[in-house]
Amino acid sequence: MKAVKTSKKSLEKNRIIFFEIGMILALSVILFAFEWGKKDIDNIGIEAREVVEVIEEMVPVTKTKIEKPLPKLPATTILNIVPDDQIDIDDNIYINAEGGENVEVPDYVPIPLPEEIVDEPEYFRSVEIMPAFPGGELARLQYLSQNVKYPRLARETGIQGIVYVEFIVDTDGSITNARIRRGIGGGCDEEALRVVESMPAWSPGIQRTQPVRVLFTMPIKFTLQ
């Protein structure tokens, strides 16, 4: 079989030549571009720069004045000057500067001060020394047990409890202003009041070494056996 020559094979042989020609053309284009750009740069004019001096405006510094209050002047006394010829002076002044051992000097008598009036209360609830039944607490309990009589109405109805009697021990120890503070009824209140009013005189309460009126509350217990 005979070999046939084609145009493709001939092109393969000339590939190197075509490559070199392409490279020469590319370099020529690049050099031409550089030369063209250089001419454009030479045609550009560079203007001279002017230095402009900017003067800064100085702002004056203002100071705030603090006004101090004026000092207060002391009060002045207005003197009314009167000429000597217009003043009446009593020259008739007698001073006895003579004395001796026999001169009697009167005793100094102080001026009495008015007595301080202290409003004492009508009565006290608590004092330095409280009033006491004659003979003490045991004597008081014995007196109540011997003198209190259970009322018939309270016994029949079964009433029992504590009656509170309030009274004032006077300065002489006597019992005054007795009244029922809390009662239970059935005649027990009246019986407790009777027994308190018939008590003997107590020893009075003492406040600042003086006997005073003292308010006292006494419980009396009514219990059925």
Q: pLDDT per residue over 104-138, tens digit each?
A: 666 767 777 666 555 556 889 899 999 999 999 99
Enter the tokens of residue 222: 């009514």
Look up residue 204 and give its amino acid: P
Name the percent of the chain lying above pLDDT 70: 57
Domain ranges of the chain: 137-222
Residue carrying the six token digits 């203007």: 47
10: which residues sit within 8 A by CB, 6+ positions away? none
The alpha helices in the chain, defined as continuous H runs, are 7-13, 15-43, 137-147, 152-157, 188-197
Identify how many contiguous H helices and E strands the chain contains and give both numbers: 5, 5
Look up residue 218 and give its amino acid: M
pLDDT band for 29, please (50, 70, 90 cuts).
confident
Q: Judge contact between 184 and 219, C-beta under 8 A.
A: no
Enter the tokens of residue 73: 């002047």
Which secondary structure element, helix H or strand E, spans residue 207, and what is its range?
strand 205-207
How much is the average pLDDT of 74-86?
A: 61
Enter the tokens of residue 157: 């109805």
Which secondary structure element, helix H or strand E, spans residue 218, and what is its range?
strand 214-222
Q: Judge contact between 220 and 187, C-beta under 8 A.
A: no
- Pick among 3.40.640.10, 3.40.50.800, 3.30.2420.10, 3.40.30.10: CATH of 137-222: 3.30.2420.10
How much is the average pLDDT of 84-106?
A: 58
The pLDDT score that the predictor gives to residue 181 is 93
